[in-house]
Structure 1
Amino acid sequence: MSRIWESLFSKNGLAAKQIAEELIPIEEGGRIPRVEDFVKKLSLGRGTVQGALKVLENLHAVELESRGHLGTFMIKKDTHLLKEIAGVGELIGAMPLPYSRLYEGLATGLIEISEQMLNRINLAYMRGAKQRIEGLKSRRYDFIVLSQLAAEEAMLKDDQLEIIVNFGPRTYVTAHKIFLADSAYNKIENGMRVGIDYTSLDQSKITLLQCKDIDVEYVSLNYMQLYESLLNGSIDAAVWNADEARAKAFKQVEFTTEDARSNALKASTAVILIEKERHSVRDYLMWLDKEKIIAIQELVVNHQKIPYY
């Protein structure tokens, strides 16, 4: 791409980098700001703005059409080229492994909507909210996706974290429920062995709230071991994600305590968590069209859209 950088060393070229960033959000067919608007906002000379727009056209980053008093319109644009000229980087986020349609849909929505904006989102996938929180605080990630319940627990321990986007109930998981190895039972009872994953903020908290006044034996397991442990009878019950394809193998019952129910609802809600001091990340994420992301997620869940992430 040396042709780009060679043409951007001039005065007009430097201005073109600024103007390229302003043009990225404008859709093809839309009207671009007037020359006077660029002059005022970017503190550039009129001739410099006109020269910068010509640089962008010569690089085939944009194709513009003047329509007299109606203004100048974006006929065609190369978004990736505009971003390279503007020197815009990509944001990196982390979310759960996409083993469910809800996760696949959320990832697809985040990536698809971000491609229409200034910074494209890249996603990493990893199991465990605690690990994602550690990655956020060590700056491996600009933001993370987790449940509202896990995010609120993290914010209690670190007041420099904040939720910046809340996607609403049943956008993270459809529901958590109690899974029973023996279908003869209708609830968790005294003496039962209950699987618990202490590394999972959601699963462990809901489990402890549900079993608060019940005399049970807690069996420490990895979340991915719950299915086999229920199947082979080494545990009698576990709180588990109802979206799991294997969930139908066991009897599912609802929570019996209000605390467990209310926290399970928070655990079903997807949110985006950032560090408060990352102002540029906050500003970007605030521009995400949440409703469009949710709509894309629903299309993926209903098998009306092929997921990509």
Structure 2
Amino acid sequence: MEGKWEKLYSKNGLAARRIAAKLLSIEPGSRIPRVSDFVTETSLGRGTIQAALRLLEEIEAIHLEARGHLGTFLIRTNRELLWDIAGLGSVMGAMPLPYSRKYEGLATGLVQVLENMKIPFNLAFMRGSLNRIEALKAGRYDFVIVSKLAAELAVQEDDRIEIVKTFGNNSYVSGHEVFFADSKVQHIQKGMRVGIDYSSADQHLLTEHEVEGIDVELVEVNYMQLMEMLKNNEIDAAIWNKDEMTYSDGLGKGSFRSEKAREISRKVNEASMLLHKDRPELREALITLPVLDVNDLQGQVEESKIYPRY
């Protein structure tokens, strides 16, 4: 076996490494790209590509079956071995702090699915979507989870990052409302102190649209302290998500009056996975991540059918 691994450092072996990353995105039983497709994508010769595929079979990372004019099919893969050959290493991801059952469910789904995909990874938790996006740009994380709104804004501002997965409606939060220190109040009024967290693209944009045209004092606070500050009458109003209603006992609440805020809130509800474009080989692997499996596990955690695990 050692002799086989040594071949990975030859010209054919380097080609095998590039092809291994591509094959991670192909499900067993599916047809693989033609040799000419690999030639176009890698700028390597046909002979090199064919030798690389034979090497991957020799190392037992894959098993291929030629089916004449139908093409060549991937029958089996050793994903852990392919991952090592591709040189992808351990993947580091970041998502919001798991303070709600929804986030606990999302974390549980990601952990279980990535383990099933044989992807070595670590999951970290970081407050503030803008903080997570900046960490992704700086290379501290390989992927980050943010709302669809934050993801779209990030892609517009920086073409080096891309959305590789979205997880469907209500996968990030169930919705937002405006909460008030006075239990009898339902709408933001002139002169109020309104909490805003500029590190959260979602919360600060929702807040700015909801208070537009109203003479209020914006008080910069940590998102996690909003409910406590409302209860202590340090602020009069704040926008918060609906998923942890126990924090809102005794507070007033109301729906958005701003059409812009209502429109934005629909995009805030969906979770998205952002990836740096400098990691195309990782994209090939993560593109096959089964979203429905993540959704199912998230739902089971929210319904207390399974315990969170992350």
TM-score by length of 1: 0.76
Contact 1:154/1:161 (8 A) holds in 2: yes
State the match for 1:68 in structure 2. Answer: none
2:262 and 2:300 mapped to 1: Cα distance? 28
Distance 1:129 1:163 in 2: 14
What's the offset of the Cα at 1:91? 2.2
**Equivalent position of 1:241 in the other structure:** 241
Q: Hey, what does 1:67 align to over in structure 2?
A: none
1:211 paired residue number: 211
Structure 2 partner of 1:8: 5
| SS of structure 1 residue aligned to 2:145 | strand
AA partner of residue 149 (structure 2)? L
Return the offset for 1:86.
6.6
Residue by residue over 1:192-213, the C-alpha shift from the partner in whole angstroms, topping out at 9 and shown as x without a partner, is: 1111112221111101100102
Matched with 1:266 is 267
**Could you say which residue in structure 2 is the equivalent of 1:171?**
171
TM-score, normalized by length of structure 2?
0.76
Aligned to 2:289: 288
One-letter identity of the residue aligned with 2:252: K
Structure 2: 5+ residue stretches without partners: 39-45, 64-74
- Deviation track 1:170-205 (CA, whole Å, cap 9, x = no partner) reads 111111110011111121111211111122211111
For residues 275 and 82 of structure 1, the distance between their equivalents in structure 2, rounded to whole angstroms, comes to 21
Q: Percent identity?
A: 41
CA–CA separation in structure 2 for the residues paired with 1:266 and 1:50: 46
Query: Secondary structure of the residue that 1:195 maps to in structure 2?
Result: strand
Distance (Å, rounded) in 1 between the aligned partners of 2:195 and 2:142: 33
1:126 maps to 2:126: yes
Of 246-255 and 227-236, deviating more is: 246-255
Q: Equivalent residue for 2:99? A: 99
Distance in 2 separating the partners of 1:215 and 1:107: 39
Unaligned runs of 5+ in 1: 65-73
- Write out aligned runs for 1:88-237 (5 A): 88-117=88-117, 119-237=119-237
Opposite residue 262 of structure 2, the aligned amino acid is: R
Q: Secondary structure at the match of 1:98?
A: coil
Distance 2:23 2:122 in 1: 22
Counterpart of 1:301, as a letter, is: E
- CA distance in 2 between counterparts of 1:51 and 1:121 reads 27
- Are the aligned partners of 1:166 and 1:271 in contact in 2 as well (CA < 8 Å)? yes
Partners of 2:120 and 2:93 in 1: how far apart?
11
| Cα distance in structure 2, aligned partners of 1:163 and 1:210 | 27
Question: Could you tell me whether the CA contact under 8 Å between 1:110 and 1:121 is conserved in 2?
Answer: no
- Aligned AA (1:131): N
Aligned equivalent of 2:41: none
Q: What is the RMSD computed on CA atoms of the aligned residues? A: 4.0
C-alpha distance in 2, partners of 1:52/1:270?
36
- Three-state SS of the structure 2 residue aligned to 1:8 is helix
Q: CA deviation at 1:238?
A: 0.5
- Give the number of equivalent residue pairs: 293
> What amino acid maps onto 1:239 in structure 2?
I
Structure 1 window deviating more from structure 2 (118-127 vs 207-216): it is 118-127
CA contact (8 A) 1:226 1:238 kept: yes
Supply the distance in 2 between the matched residues of 1:157 and 1:8 (Cα, whole angstroms): 43
Separation in 2 of the partners of 1:31 and 1:256? 52
Instruction: Find the residue that maps to 2:171 and give its secondary structure.
Output: coil
Larger radius of gyration: 1
Amino acid at match of 2:216: V
Of 79-88 and 104-113, the range deviating more from structure 2: 79-88
